[in-house]
Amino acid sequence: MSMELGDAYYLENLWGAKTPGVQEELIGFWLRTGALPARAEAERRVAQAFFVAQTKADQQLVAISSVYVQTNQQVGHPFYYFRCFVEERHRRASLALHLLMAARQELNARFVAGENPQIIGMVLEVQNEALQQFRTEAVWLRTGFVYIGRNQRGDHVRVSYFDCARIA
């Protein structure tokens, strides 16, 4: 599944559909951009890759989002932890926001359909210092993510619950 983002970019959903060629492209991107320091870590993360952003003009990979499941200690429930890396020269295109919203929409739809009902939402650990300094609203209205505190590194932690999620 792919979706267009204006004239310049499109998003592609890679969940469960990573050919060996796509896997090598993801690994190459992470290593080339310095997003990940070692090939072993990039190889481990390939299975977590979710959506990618590519340029329409030449189909160049410019951003990758990934998710993994982990229990959030502050809430005490499992969540999908979302990560995203956008190549520096493409950061003004709001690709991180588009990748986040696409991931949330897809994972929420899966939750509502009954897939992994124990995973009740998404978590962001915001490492971007500018976001931590200038996006201090308790609730990010555009995304619905709510501030719940800081992690051990001091990063802001935000959560978004899926539709009809229940705390059991």
Assign residue 40 the CATH number of its domain.
3.40.630.30
- CA-closest candidate to residue 29, choices 64, 3, 65, 2: 64
Quick: pLDDT tens for 42-88.
999 999 999 999 999 999 999 999 999 999 988 999 999 999 999 98
CB burial class (10 A; 0-12, 13-18, 19+) of residue 76?
Answer: exposed
Q: Is residue 166 part of a domain?
A: no
The region of weakest confidence among 62-66, 94-98, 137-141, 152-156 is 137-141
Q: Is residue 111 part of a domain?
A: yes
Q: Is residue 168 part of a domain?
A: no
Domain hosting 152: range is 2-161
| Cα–Cα distance for residue pair 25/6, rounded to 1 Å | 24
E-strand ranges in 7-153 read 9-13, 49-55, 61-72, 77-86, 121-126, 139-140, 145-150
Q: Is residue 50 part of a domain?
A: yes
**What residue has token string 């290593």?**
31
Q: Is residue 109 part of a domain?
A: yes
Rounded to two decimals, the pTM is: 0.91
Contact 120, 165 (CB under 8 A): yes
Domain count along the chain: 1
Quick: pLDDT tens for 99-151.
999 999 999 999 999 999 999 999 999 776 766 566 667 787 788 899 999 88
